[in-house]
Amino acid sequence: MKKSIVAVCLTGWLWAGSTMVQAADVQLTISTGKSGGGYYGIGERLKTVMAEQGVTVEVLTSVGSLENLNRLNDPGSPVNVGLTQADALKYFLGKQPEMADKFMMLGEIGKECVFIISDRKSGIDSDSDLQDKKGNLIAVQSPNSGVAVTYEYMTQLEPKFKNTAPAFVDAMEALLQIKSGGPQNKIKAAMLVQRPSAKSPPMQVVLDNPKEFQFVSVTDWDLNDKLPDGTAVYTFEDVTVEKKNWGFDTKVDTICTRGLMIGAKDKLSPDLRENLAKVMLLAPGRVVGE
């Protein structure tokens, strides 16, 4: 009798131990964005929520959407979930259309809008000014950043945007050049892609200096395309960026895209898919945040 009890207990312990090991081995690797950025924060929140289901998550930084998509596409990379802008996804699929069936949509992670900033005295008030005036530069982040991909994709949809070439300069440095560089400065605008409510340092500069900087309207209807599922890559919106403590609102007509969470089908086990589905259906706010 004692031997039977010991055997049963031992078998139960081994089974429980095996289950614990299997749960610990479940691994989700998410490629996000720069450390401290919005995408990175989403990855960290997903890690916290998934841990409650016994799923271990590794959060990787990246330079932007294209790196995330390339990691998803790379069979040698452990990344099985990545964050991307909808326009970057469309741009990527334009070069590798066969990947459309290999990615799965896990959810939306917020609206992101294009904010182009110029000096109020520059004469660049609308996107048509960027298209018509040759020789000027617009500051975007590094070539692989989401901002750079957005501008490249805009030039695909409306080739006239190529008249204003991208300069890979940090937005804050670009704003300083726009403010202090004088008429010889070729950087005439700086571009951000972010949530309207996000008070990034460049956005804060614009809101704190409304007499010096302005938002450039983006209304060209040629910036119109669809993802494989039929949803719009860009929407045309009248966006309000509010600075409550100063008591005024800043509005601009511009284009907005969506942040997306994408999974690689062949890298996600059925259990991981189920866990991700539960999280993104039942508790998306805990992951996406405000």
pLDDT in tens, the chain (290 residues): 444 443 333 334 323 333 333 444 548 999 999 898 889 999 999 999 999 989 999 999 998 899 999 999 999 999 999 999 999 999 999 999 988 999 999 999 999 999 999 999 888 999 999 999 888 999 998 887 889 999 999 999 999 999 999 999 999 999 999 988 777 788 999 999 999 888 889 999 998 898 899 999 999 999 999 998 899 999 999 998 876 555 556 889 999 999 999 999 999 999 999 999 999 999 999 999 86
182 with 214, same domain? yes
Return d(Cα 221, Cα 236) in angstroms, integer: 8
Helices (H), 57-145: 65-73, 86-95, 127-132
Amino acid 7: pLDDT: 37
Q: Which residues of 115-150 are buried (b: 16+ CB within 10 A; e: fewer)?
A: bbbbbeebebebbebbbeeeebbbbbbeebbbbbbb
Domain span at residue 41 reads: 2-109+261-288
Helices (H), 158-200: 171-180
Residue 172 CB neighbours (<10 A): 15
226 with 272, same domain? no
176 with 138, same domain? yes
100 with 80, same domain? yes
Amino acid 169: pLDDT: 92
163 with 237, same domain? yes
88 with 188, same domain? no
146 with 206, same domain? yes
Measure the CA dihedral 42/43/49/53, to 10°: 150
Return d(Cα 202, Cα 250) in angstroms, integer: 14
128 with 192, same domain? yes
Q: Give residue for tokens 């520059």.
A: 122
Is the Cβ–Cβ distance between 255 and 223 less than 8 Å? yes
Structure tokens at 240: 């309000």
Is the Cβ–Cβ distance between 60 and 34 less than 8 Å? no
Structure tokens at 68: 């995330």
83 with 54, same domain? yes
101 with 218, same domain? no
Amino acid 69: pLDDT: 95
Q: Give residue for tokens 């991307």.
A: 84
Is the Cβ–Cβ distance between 77 and 66 less than 8 Å? no
Radius of gyration of the chain (CA): 23
147 with 73, same domain? no
Q: Give residue for tokens 């010096």.
A: 212
Is the Cβ–Cβ distance between 46 and 283 less than 8 Å? no
- Of 84, 81, 41, 92, the C-alpha closest to 198 is 41
Amino acid 248: pLDDT: 58
Q: Which amino acid is at 260?
A: L
Q: How many domains does the chain have?
A: 2
Is the Cβ–Cβ distance between 24 and 56 less than 8 Å? yes
Which helix (H) or strand (E) segment holds residue 187: the answer is strand 187-194
123 with 247, same domain? yes
Is the Cβ–Cβ distance between 96 and 73 less than 8 Å? yes
Query: At 43, which CATH number?
Result: 3.40.190.10
Is the Cβ–Cβ distance between 213 and 119 less than 8 Å? yes
Q: Which amino acid is at 52?
A: E
Query: pTM value?
Result: 0.84
